[in-house]
Structures are given as structure tokens and as C-alpha cells.
Amino acid sequence: MPPLLRRALMRLLEIIPVLWVVLTITFFLVRTVPGGPFDRERQLTPEAAAHNNEYYGLDQPLYVQYVKYLWNFAHGDLGPVYVHPDWTVNELLAQKAPISAELGLWATLVALVVGLGAGVLASARPRSKTDYGTMAAAMVAICLPSFVLGPILLLIFGLKLQWVNVMGWNTAGDRVLPSLVLGLYYAAYVARLTRGSMLEVRAQDFIRTARAKGNGPARVLLVHALRNALGPIVAYLAPTIAGLVTGSFVVESIFQIPGIGRMFVEAALSHEYPLLLSLTVLFTLVLLIFNWIGDVLIALLNPKAAID
């Protein structure tokens, strides 16, 4: 087996113990928070609350609950939803995870197209007005967090111009503003990383050799330089895409998008233990997978790079 493939498989197998550690720590950590899933139900009598705790096994010793949850989790049963007894965690995730994933994919497209384009454009003419203007715009995007940019765009395009809906996830237009708000922030970082990496690569000897062979400026820039400059960008994008795909708490709350980002906040506030655990493991799993993909891509782009 080739060394690269063997190391990639080993890194992939490491995901299992990492997920178990995250699940275990989260399980015991959330139980240390004062309160329970039925404490917010004021109409419940102490007897009714005790009955609910007994029904869901919350009155059992903590280690018994942990073993049962771990067994059910290993068999694909993520548990019930305490506030909505007619729903299970599996059903909620199946309904809301695709929404957050779609938002993340659109935001990733914005980050890649805008970020790579701006970075390559700035590096093509260093220390020019184009370079300074592009990097200044990137700095503004970095300094404008989503909870500031989102309401501004809603006010302009939703309330004043009425081009898009101010909330919801029903039409194609509903995807535009959330994707821009979520993607432009990361596009600014991609632009700055691309510019710096491109300038470093363009100063190397093989770029001068490519020019000496008669390659045009566009081919030298986009084929020879960009490919070798993608390493730091891929390393940054791997965890970034994981965060984008699994949802954004702030953006989903601003635009009232029914994704898993909002659901995570609601689960934490209502002490929905199975839902909170499942979402934490889901976020961790997606992050680990995208980190693994990023390592593999870096090794493929640069065969000399090894997966640690």
C-alpha cells in the first residue's frame, strides 16, 4: 500500500476515538449545567416532572444513562426530543441539516469565487491601486461581522428596496443575502491568503522558467502560480467549509432560517440533551472529515507534503 494512502486511512480511522471522546466529554459536561429539560414547563406539577424523568430514564444514575445513550448512538438511535415528544432527533436532523448544508455550500461558493478572484487580481499587480483597493475592501469585510452586515443588508435590500424577503428559506431569492453575509467574511481571508501565497510563489525560479518558455502571463498566473499557491488556502478552507456547512448560529438567527444552527442554540437553552449531543458530534464529525480532505488535497497538490 502506498505510504500516502496508508497514512490517509490511518487518519480516517482516528476519527472514531475522537468522536467518542467528544461525545463523552459533552455528555457529562451538559449534565453539570443546573436545570433540566422539564424545568421550563411551568404548568407541570412536580409529580408530572418526576414522571417524565422516569419515562426518559433521567432519574437513573448518570453512568447508566451514559451507557444506554452510547449503545443507542452506536445503533443509529439519537434519542427523543423532550419538548416535542412526537419527534425524534433523527427526524429533526433529517429535516434541518440539509438547509444548513445548502446555506453553507452557497456561502462556500461565494468565499471561493470572490476570495480567489480578488486575491489573484491583487497579486497580478502588486503595490498598485488595484492591489491596495482590493485588500482594503477585504479588510472592511473582515471588520464587519455577520451580526452587523446582516441587518444592514436586510435594511437596504429587504425593507427599503424590497428586492428580497427579510426572513425565511422558501424561494431562490431567500438564499442570496444569507449566503453573501456568511461568505463575504471568509472571502476576505481567502483573498488575503491568496495574494500572499501567490506573491511568494511568483518569486520562485520555476515561474521565471515558465515565462522563459514562452507561456503567456495568464497561463503563468493561473496554471503555474495558482496551483502551487493553493496549499495554505486549502489548509484554511478545510475547517472553514466544515463550519459553513454545519450552519451559522448568527446568520440563521438573523434571517430566521430553520437550520441546525438555530436548533443548536434552542437545544442548549432548553436542556435537550440528546439533541445537543447529536449536534455536537455532527459538528465534530464534519470538521474532522473536512480536515482529512484538506490534508489529502494538500498532499495531492504537493506530493512532497506528507499527512502528519
Model confidence pLDDT, tens digit, residues 186-244: 899 899 988 888 888 877 777 778 777 777 777 777 777 777 787 788 878 877 887 77
Closest CA to 289 of 5, 16, 3, 4: 16
Model confidence pLDDT, tens digit, residues 30-54: 888 777 777 665 566 777 777 777 7
What is the domain-level CATH number for residue 141?
A: 1.10.3720.10
Q: CA 131 to CA 118: how far, in whole Å?
A: 9
Q: CA 89 to CA 274: how far, in whole Å?
A: 7
- Give how many domains the chain has, as a whole number: 1
* Average pLDDT in the chain: 83
Please give the grid coordinates belonging to residue 285.
464529525
Q: CA 236 to CA 198: how far, in whole Å?
A: 15
* Conformational region of residue 126, where left means phi above 0, alpha means psi within -120 to 50, and beta covers everything else: beta
pTM of the model: 0.80
Q: Which domain holds residue 47?
A: 1-308
Q: Are 193 and 238 in contact (CB under 8 A)?
A: no
Please give the grid coordinates belonging to residue 182.
456568511
The C-alpha angle with vertex 227 and arms to 291 and 195, in degrees rounded to 5, equals: 85
